[in-house]
């Protein structure tokens, strides 16, 4: 009887121990309502161009910037500074895109208007650095509704956005759609001179290709373009510039891994109809 009694005690102790271990494995709390909103916002939302124009400072222009030809043709005269000049209002595609790393951008016609960080603070409200806040948020199917408070102008306006569908949900698209920097490898020196320190490219599965060039740790210029897969193999993509119909091209992906991407684009650098391969290596920003 003693042996049975001891075995029973041992069994109870084992069961209790397992139950305790199970409880320890379930310590992750469920996401809060604010965290759910933060995740649900991560997408590209098309906006009314007239609304975006109403929020734009009227003294923003695009000055000439002289730099060498760069990856995917983004080096244009599109650096943004403030002057007393007036830039014409745009009427093309306008959108806000929320990225999963809490960065957001607002763009119209290929120009970057605002970049900042967003943080959900309630089930229906987010703070937008560099802009203000968005409250009363409702997301129904693919429609976003809310009220934007723009701090600089001290105005509050209703806002509606339509979610842009992903170009693809494939594993290759996921690998491609990340935040990259141009490595000093292959043909880097042919594309950038001493006036450029670095270049980053943020690619999203919604078709946004957002590039930035830096000099002495300051943003020299930025460009918001579109991309799409060419063909069915997802080994070549095309890019286009909403602000310049002639700025288009095709880029072949030679290698794409969890850490890097190697591409080739045939460029006519001298305008003499003679093209040469432009090889670029990009590495993931971690």
Q: What is the pLDDT of residue 192?
A: 84
Q: What is the pLDDT of residue 3?
A: 47
Name the residue with higher pLDDT: 65 or 27.
27
Q: What is the pLDDT of residue 25?
A: 61
Q: Would strands 111-122 and 125-128 be described as parallel, antiparallel, or unpaired?
A: antiparallel
Residue 201: pLDDT band (50, 70, 90) is very high
Residue 87: pLDDT band (50, 70, 90) is very low
Q: What is the pLDDT of residue 64?
A: 36
Q: What is the pLDDT of residue 191?
A: 85
Q: What is the pLDDT of residue 90?
A: 52
Residue 98: HSE in the Cβ half-sphere, 13 Å Cα cutoff: 21
Residue 234: HSE in the Cβ half-sphere, 13 Å Cα cutoff: 13
Average pLDDT over every residue of 72-86: 34
Q: What is the pLDDT of residue 152?
A: 85
pLDDT higher than threshold 60 for residue 83: no
Q: What is the mean pLDDT of the chain?
A: 82
Q: What is the pLDDT of residue 196?
A: 87
Distance between CA atoms of 96 and 161, rounded to whole angstroms? Answer: 8
pLDDT > 70: percent of the chain: 78
Global pTM reads 0.80
Q: What is the pLDDT of residue 57?
A: 58
Distance between CA atoms of 275 and 266, rounded to whole angstroms? Answer: 6
pLDDT higher than threshold 70 for residue 198: yes
Distance between CA atoms of 70 and 131, rounded to whole angstroms? Answer: 31
In order of their start, the domains of the chain are 33-163 (2.40.128), 171-284 (2.40.128.490)
Q: Can you name the residues that pair with 44 across neighbouring β-strands?
A: 97
3-state SS, residue 171: helix
From residue 209, alpha-carbon distances to 7, 29, 168, 177, 238 in Å are: 66, 35, 15, 9, 11
pLDDT higher than threshold 90 for residue 133: yes
Distance between CA atoms of 46 and 86, rounded to whole angstroms? Answer: 25
The phi-psi region of residue 186 (left if phi > 0; otherwise alpha if psi is between -120 and 50; otherwise beta) is left
pLDDT higher than threshold 70 for residue 258: yes
Distance between CA atoms of 60 and 222, rounded to whole angstroms? Answer: 14
Average pLDDT over every residue of 122-134: 96
Average pLDDT over every residue of 181-203: 90
From residue 51, alpha-carbon distances to 28, 44, 89, 157, 282 in Å are: 41, 16, 11, 8, 36
Average pLDDT over every residue of 222-234: 94
From residue 206, alpha-carbon distances to 130, 156, 176 in Å are: 23, 28, 12
Q: Which residue has the tokens 């490595």?
A: 183
Q: Can you name the residues that pair with 107 across neighbouring β-strands?
A: 95, 112
């Amino acid at each position: 009887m003693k042996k049975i009694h001891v075995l029973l005690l041992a069994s109870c102790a084992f069961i209790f121990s397992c139950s305790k271990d199970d409880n320890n494995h379930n310590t992750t709390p469920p996401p809060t309502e604010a965290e759910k909103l933060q995740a649900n916002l991560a997408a590209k939302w098309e906006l009314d161009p007239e609304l975006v124009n109403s929020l734009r400072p009227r003294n923003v222009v695009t000055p000439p910037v002289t730099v060498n030809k760069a990856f995917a043709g983004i080096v244009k005269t599109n650096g943004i500074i403030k002057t007393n000049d007036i830039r014409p209002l745009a009427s093309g595609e306008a959108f806000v895109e929320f990225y999963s790393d809490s960065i957001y951008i607002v763009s119209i016609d290929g120009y970057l208007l605002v970049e900042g960080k967003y943080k959900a603070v309630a089930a229906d409200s987010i703070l937008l650095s560099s802009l203000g806040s968005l409250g009363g948020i409702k997301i129904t199917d693919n429609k976003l509704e809310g009220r934007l408070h723009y701090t600089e102008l001290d105005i509050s306006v209703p806002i509606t956005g339509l979610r842009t569908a992903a170009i693809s949900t494939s594993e290759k698209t996921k690998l491609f759609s990340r935040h990259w920097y141009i490595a000093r490898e292959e043909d880097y020196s042919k594309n950038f001179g001493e006036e450029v320190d670095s270049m980053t490219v943020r690619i999203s599965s919604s078709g946004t290709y957002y590039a930035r060039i830096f000099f002495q740790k300051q943003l020299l210029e930025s460009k918001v373009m579109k991309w799409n897969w060419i063909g069915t193999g997802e080994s070549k993509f095309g890019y286009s510039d909403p602000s310049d119909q002639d700025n288009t091209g095709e880029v072949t992906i030679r290698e794409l891994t969890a850490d890097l991407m190697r591409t080739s684009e045939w460029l006519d650098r001298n305008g003499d109809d003679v093209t040469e391969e432009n090889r670029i290596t990009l590495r993931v920003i971690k």
